[in-house]
Amino acid sequence: MLQLNPLWCIFSGSDRLSNSFPDARLPQRSILFTSSFSSTFILDDLALLRRRFAVEHLLTRGPRALVRIVRGVRRNDLMFTWFASVYSCAVVACARLFGKPSYIVIAGVDVMSVDGVNYGPWGSPLKRLIVGWAIRHATGVLPVAEELRAAAMHLADYDGGNAVVIPTGYDPARWFPSGPKERSVLCVAGCESRARLLVKGIDILFAAARRMRDERFVLAGTPLDMLTRLGESVPSNVRVLPPMSREELPSLYHTSKVYVQPSRSEGLPNALCEAMLSGCIPVGTDVGGMATAIGETGYVVPAADVGALVGAIREALEAPEDRGAQARQRICALFPAERREVALNQLLSGKNS
């Protein structure tokens, strides 16, 4: 079982961060870092760990993934994988076979269960067994929000004894307010399937926009032709933008007064936290870690409640802009990038394993 006390101290609310990194004279541990895809938040962790450890990044997908996993596990001292999945189960099993520690980041989709939506691993009885085993038998499970820890305990049917919450972290020097805000509502969501569109609540966003014809909405991350293929009719007051690079997103955050995340299920959404750091007033649903992120700086509504979402967006549009400054201060205080780095370095250095 993980010895969690040093890590809990990091997240106990103190503004003082420990810099007690592992002694540089100790042998450097090598890490097999696995993920089934690459994204900015996964690559952030990869860069973070490479500042302290020797890290091999392996994309686990395709028919030869198991062979690559076995070889990678044999070459490295410990395993770090993003998302609980069939692939992460293979990583955990191989790590146990070779007597090496394994850690799984729980970020949202991997403990997602939405009524009527076939998304994530838990809808399949076989995958449920496989992913549940991986969560129970990993050396450590690292949810990014307390709500995800509770979901993992429920879905994997265990006591969570190997789980410790380590939130994702955000750099206020990268995300910051700039210039005047416009009276507009922004949502960032990439949807490549009907199930993901429903999970992200884009149908609810569009329903709210239709009730607010005089307001301007922007949906970034899903091409218009994809929305058409997924059966969604886009309201006339919604501007749709394709997927954008991390360098392009700040311009949207800078000009939007309100950021809305209407998801039916979430972890700790990166776009929400980035928007808050950029001075947007947040509106989100009461799922995952969103209520914790937003706090009193914005508005939290029940998922799939169009009327409540409309009311919250109207209030946010009329709110004074200093609410955006309060939102930035909250993310700076709760989720600094340095805090995640300290926690992961202490855990993976062997001090807490």
**What pLDDT digit, counting tens, does each position of 97-111 carry?**
999 999 999 998 888
Q: How confident is the model at residue 21 (pLDDT cuts 50, 70, 90)?
A: very low
Write down the pLDDT at residue 250: 96
Whether pLDDT at 118 is above 90: no
Write down the pLDDT at residue 351: 59
Q: How confident is the model at residue 260 (pLDDT cuts 50, 70, 90)?
A: very high
Q: How confident is the model at residue 353 (pLDDT cuts 50, 70, 90)?
A: very low
Whether pLDDT at 2 is above 90: no
Write down the pLDDT at residue 11: 43
Mean pLDDT score of the chain, rounded to an integer? Answer: 90
Write down the pLDDT at residue 167: 97
The more confident residue out of 121 and 239 is: 239
Span 5-169+336-351 CATH architecture:
3-Layer(aba) Sandwich (3.40)
Span 182-334 CATH architecture:
3-Layer(aba) Sandwich (3.40)
Could you identify the residue written with the tokens 């993992």? 152
Q: How confident is the model at residue 321 (pLDDT cuts 50, 70, 90)?
A: confident
**What pLDDT digit, counting tens, does each position of 172-218 carry?**
999 999 989 999 999 999 999 999 999 999 999 999 999 999 999 99
Percent of the chain's residues with pLDDT above 90: 81
For every residue of the chain, which 3-state class applies, written as one string? CCCCHHHHHHCCCCCCCCCCCCCCCCCCCEEEEEECCCCHHHHHHHHHHHCCCEEEEEECCCCCHHHHHHHHHHHCCEEEEECCCHHHHHHHHHHHHCCCCEEEEECCHHHCCECCECCCHHHCHHHHHHHHHHHHHCCEEEECCHHHHHHHHHHHCCCCCCECCCCCCECCCCCCCCCCCEEEEEEECCCCCHHHHHHCCHHHHHHHHHHCCCCEEEEECCCHHHHHHCCCCCCCCEEEECCCCCCCHHHHHHHEEEEEECCCCCCCCHHHHHHHHCCCEEEEECCCCHHHHHCCCCEEECCCCHHHHHHHHHHHHHCCCHHHHHHHHHHHHHCEHHHHHHHHHHHHHHHCC
Write down the pLDDT at residue 1: 46
The more confident residue out of 16 and 347 is: 347
Whether pLDDT at 303 is above 50: yes
The more confident residue out of 277 and 7 is: 277
Q: How confident is the model at residue 5 (pLDDT cuts 50, 70, 90)?
A: very low
Q: Give the mean pLDDT of 8-13.
A: 41
Q: Where in the chain is the domain with CATH 3.40.50.2000?
A: 5-169+336-351, 182-334
Whether pLDDT at 26 is above 80: no
Whether pLDDT at 90 is above 60: yes
Write down the pLDDT at residue 317: 98
Q: How confident is the model at residue 83 (pLDDT cuts 50, 70, 90)?
A: very high
Write down the pLDDT at residue 160: 95
**What pLDDT digit, counting tens, does each position of 136-147 carry?**
999 999 999 999
Whether pLDDT at 169 is above 50: yes
